[in-house]
Structure 1
Amino acid sequence: MNDVQKLKNDVQRLETENSHLKAEIKNKTESCTRTLECLDQKTHIAFYAYYSNNFKALATGTTLVFDAVITNLGNGYDKRTGIFTAPSSGVYAFTWTVNAAGSHVAGSSGNQYGEMNASIKLNGVTRSAVKIDSERKNDDDSATGFVVLSLNLGDKIQIVSDKFDGEGGLYSDDKYGRTCFSGFQIA
């Protein structure tokens, strides 16, 4: 009977150890949703896109469509529409940069140099804006906006030429700077 008793003791010890390990896993899983220690276990949401070429200023109400996508974790950014759709609720940070040309580029004509107002919109409502305006030859201009917004699943974020029709040309290249849009979930 010694062997049977020994096996019973081993089984009881393993059951106790298993119970402790299950409790530890449960505690780690619950804390993972509240801390950064488990970042690698969460779905990351982040994107970065830019215009692949210099371009002509846009009419009021036109969404900027950043066609060159470098990062799109969570697949929230659509390069066909220029719209980011929140794949999950949370707090997000967004930044956008627009570069106005102090020369005639991308089909601009006349004496107009680059000028535009670029607003970030949440479900069609302006949350912030930047204005870019180059007034004369070789007077390039650049503006960057940054916002932190609380989003619900399915909310839409886009950068829109707003308030007045843009004029002239805008840069997006490695020499003068990329006109770009990016965002990421922070909580």
Structure 2
Amino acid sequence: MSRFNSFLLTVLLFESRYIHVEGEYNNVHDLEQFVKEEFRHLRDNEKELNHKISTLEKENEDKGRQIRKLEEELKYLKKERELDQRTRRQSRTLVAFTAYKSQHIHNITKEQKIVYEHILLNDGNAYDSNTGVFTAPVSGVYLFSYSVGSKAIPGVPLTQYDVFTRLVINGVHQVSAVAESTSIDDDEQGSTTAILFVLEGDTVWTIHELKGGSNLYSDDSERVTSFTGTLLYEKQVSGSIIG
């Protein structure tokens, strides 16, 4: 409310009161005293109204500042949340590896682990090149792929060059890869890929089956026998679903 409107209201109040008392006074002196008294009240009322208006204006200014402060705090919190979300995305568990065999294996035995000793990538350090075993750092859905080579190994007189292998989780068979050679001149490679759920702490590796030949072909130049794995996304479930 403006000061002019306040004054106008005061005048209107006075006019209403004056009309009410006009007939009650018979001499000018009494009426003059009444008018003076009324003006005094009007001035007091105007001061009080102006004080209230000033107080309300100050309160509005204070509330405006508080609102602007809250708006700034909200903007800051939104930025912090966006930064936290970006950080969470960037800092999520990264797991990926690829390793290959740089040497042949002669006289490989049943269920012997295939150790891919040469690492090309090992983000998360979950693959152990000394044992050939991958240990899941988090529960989630992983992609695994591996390949095996079958070929006549120089200096090794054999009549069969078939290679039968399995990928296992905690020793439980999941998928297989086979490379079958029928001649000393054959140069074969078998491979397989699987997307599997793995619990944190589960171990994954590949083994040789007691079938076919007993030699696994690979060398540092051809690198036909390799093992790859990566975390696609984290996932939590109760209990193992390995079948």
- Normalised by the size of structure 2, how large is the TM-score? 0.62
Please tell me whether residue 44 in structure 1 is matched to residue 94 in structure 2.
Answer: yes
| 8 Å Cα contact 2:136-2:200 kept in structure 1 | yes
Please tell me whether residue 143 in structure 1 is matched to residue 190 in structure 2.
Answer: yes
| 8 Å Cα contact 2:103-2:217 kept in structure 1 | no
| 2:175 corresponds to which of 103, 128, 132 | 128
| 8 Å Cα contact 1:52-1:172 kept in structure 2 | yes
Match of 2:148 in 1: 98
Which letter does structure 2 place at the counterpart of 1:182?
Answer: T
Please tell me whether residue 88 in structure 1 is matched to residue 134 in structure 2.
Answer: no
Please tell me whether residue 19 in structure 1 is matched to residue 19 in structure 2.
Answer: no
Which letter does structure 1 place at the counterpart of 2:199?
Answer: N
More moved, 165-174 vs 121-130 = 165-174
More moved, 83-92 vs 24-33 = 24-33
Match of 1:3 in 2: none
Question: Where do 5+ consecutive residues of structure 1 fail to align?
Answer: 1-5
Equivalent pairs counted in the alignment come to 174
Residues 169, 96 of structure 1: alpha-carbon distance in 2 compared, 3 angstrom cutoff? closer
Identity %: 24
| 8 Å Cα contact 2:163-2:212 kept in structure 1 | yes
More moved, 110-119 vs 91-100 = 110-119
Please tell me whether residue 77 in structure 1 is matched to residue 77 in structure 2.
Answer: no
Q: How far apart are residue 18 of structure 1 and its match? A: 2.8
Which letter does structure 1 place at the counterpart of 2:123?
Answer: L
Residues 123, 19 of structure 1: alpha-carbon distance in 2 compared, 3 angstrom cutoff? same
Q: Write the deviation string for residues 107-136 of structure 1: whole angstroms up to 9, x where unpaired.
A: 6x3333432211000110000001112111
SS in 2 for 1:114: coil
SS in 2 for 1:171: coil
Q: Which has the higher strand share?
A: 1
Determine which structure has more spread, i.e. the larger CA radius of gyration.
2
Q: Which has the higher contact order (CA 8 A, sep 6+)?
A: 1
